[in-house]
Amino acid sequence: MIHRFRGGIWWATLLVVLIGIGASAYLVQQHFLHLQAAFTSKSLCNISAYLNCDLVLTSAYASLGTLPLAGLGLVFYVYALGALLYARLAPDSLAEVLALPALLALFSVLLSLFLAYVSFFQLRSMCIFCTSLYVVNILLWFLLKALIGQGGPVKLFKRIPWGKSLAYFAIVFAIGGILLHTSHKQYAKELSPADAKAYLEQFFAQQPYNIDVSGRPFWGNPDAKIVIVEFSDMECPYCKVAAFNLKPILSDYKDKVKLVFMNYPLDKNCNPAITRDMHVNACNAAYASYCAGKQGKFWEYHDAAFERQPKFSRESLENIAKKLKLDTEAFQACLGSEEAKQFVVADIAQGDKAKVQGTPAVFINGRSFPNWISKKLVHQALDRILAGQ
């Protein structure tokens, strides 16, 4: 039998592993829902633009190829659970059974530190469930080390019975990897060739809207045959995803497309289609981006504003302008001007004409393209347009 003190540690370790399984399973589910719904399925911790699991889960750091990191975490916790249960049944082999899980827990701690840095300082968003897993990994390392009761990483490495441990590890992770990859194929927006063909046929069958983009900020080739319009709201969390993903998706086509930014703030202060309080400073943020554009720094302001979601005030908008070294007096005068308001109102009118229902809304040559997050599908549409369709 395990010593009573170690028995207590065993139960604590079991609890931590089960918490890890629960949290990672939820994140995996949410990850696949995002793939299926293109960022329209909110998670339980989508509380604000900062406390927002969705923004973290939809970042480039959330997956390793087709495998979500949360899914790999889930496989690890299931692996650790199996080792923990076996150690309970065979206490004489406890150290050998738990040595490899302990070293993997240590690796998970190092990975957690990196991901926490990315989340807090690069994405500027906090995923509560992800953070709980960082804590789980730290606790798991210390608890497994306490259960084994001796040695650091080097001694643990030497205690591993590599034949049996690697076989168990390989079986669990192979099964887990196959299940995750299969789920990705099922949920991902990377449609099957037949479904992609049907989607594109529906896209090209649309009657295009004539969206007036004259005088609007753009990225890419001003004379491009392909005009992509993004209607956006600077307080919208999903618009933040578009803000930092559309350009990378289009990077291979920069000389062949014109990406145009147009405002559609979900704010009743300037958008008559909004009748309740939603994004209460989105109009002001739109005015501010226009004013920055007048000084030639629209995209710099655009990126800085989206990085600083969600809370905007006149002071915070002016602080962004100062950091970008804009002419402060000119910016302040513009911010409350009728000129700025009319510019944004004109954008909203274009969005209404195109029947925009929410943000972000992406149009390729006047046709709605809801699946803009699928790089492969976007590229297929662009290639067909360039080929003459």
DSSP string for 145-205: HHHH-S--HHHHHHH--HHHHHHHHHHHHHHHHHHHHHHHHHHSSS--HHHHHHHHHHHHH
For residues 134 and 200, state if they share a domain.
no
Residues 201, 103 within the same domain? no
Region label for 38, one of left (φ > 0), alpha (ψ between -120 and 50) or beta (otherwise): left
Give pLDDT, residue 323.
Answer: 94
pLDDT, residue 4, reads: 43
**Residues 132, 242 within the same domain:** no
Q: Which of 64-78, 156-170, 283-297 has the lowest mean pLDDT?
A: 156-170
153 vs 317 pLDDT, higher one: 317
183 and 206 in a single domain? The answer is: no
CA distances 368 to 43, 192, 365, 373, 378, Å, are: 26, 21, 9, 13, 12
Q: Please give the pLDDT value at position 251.
A: 82
Helix, strand or coil for residue 366? coil
CATH number at residue 320: 3.40.30.10
Say what the pLDDT of residue 186 is. Answer: 77
Specify the pLDDT at position 384: 95
How much is the pLDDT for 276? 84
pLDDT, tens only, 86-103 = 999 888 888 889 999 999
Indicate the pairing of strand 257-263 with strand 226-232.
Answer: parallel
pLDDT band of residue 141 (cuts 50, 70, 90) is very high
pLDDT for residue 157: 87
Q: Which domain holds residue 35?
A: 4-187
* pLDDT tens digits, one per residue of 32-64: 876 665 444 456 776 765 787 876 776 668 888
Average pLDDT of every residue of the chain: 89
Same domain, 203 and 149: no
For the cut 90, the answer to whether the pLDDT of residue 113 exceeds it is yes
Of the residues 155, 187, 219, the one at which a domain ends = 187
357 and 247 in a common domain: yes
Please give the backbone phi and psi of residue 303, each rounded to the nearest 5 degrees, phi first. -65, -45
- How sure is the predictor about 310, in pLDDT bands with cuts at 50, 70 and 90? low
> Is residue 373 domain-shared with residue 238, that is, in the same domain?
yes
* 174 plus 197 within the same structural domain: no
**Structure confidence at residue 308 as a pLDDT band (50, 70, 90):** confident
Cβ–Cβ under 8 Å, residues 346 and 352: no
For 145-161, what is each residue's pLDDT tens digit?
Answer: 999 887 788 888 888 88
Domain boundary among 187, 208, 223: 187
CA trace torsion 284, 289, 290, 293 (10° rounding): 160
Cα gap 319→362, rounded to integer Å:
30
Instruction: Give the number of other CB atoms < 10 A from CB of residue 215.
Output: 9
Query: In this structure, are 61 and 208 located in the same domain?
Result: no
pLDDT reported for residue 340: 97
| Average pLDDT, integer, range 220-235 | 95
Q: What is the CA radius of gyration of the chain?
A: 25
Q: Say yes or no to pLDDT of 124 above 90.
A: no
User: Of 156, 187, 218, which residue sits at a domain end?
Assistant: 187
Phi first, then psi: give them for residue 310, nearest 5 degrees.
-105, -20
* For residues 316-345, average pLDDT: 95
pTM score of the predicted model: 0.59
For residue 41, what pLDDT is reported?
44
Percent of the chain with pLDDT over 90: 60
Chain-centroid distance of CA 65 in Å reads 14
- pLDDT confidence of residue 1: 45
Residues 43-71 as b/e (b if ≥16 CB within 10 A, e otherwise) read: bebbeebbebbbbbbbbeebbeebbbbbb
- Total domains in the fold of the chain: 2
Residues 169 and 214 in one domain: no
CATH number of 80's domain? 1.20.1440.130
Residue 2 pLDDT > 80: no
User: Per-residue pLDDT tens for 249-306?
Assistant: 888 888 899 999 999 999 999 999 988 888 889 999 999 999 999 999 999 999 899 8
Give the tokens for residue 55.
């923004």
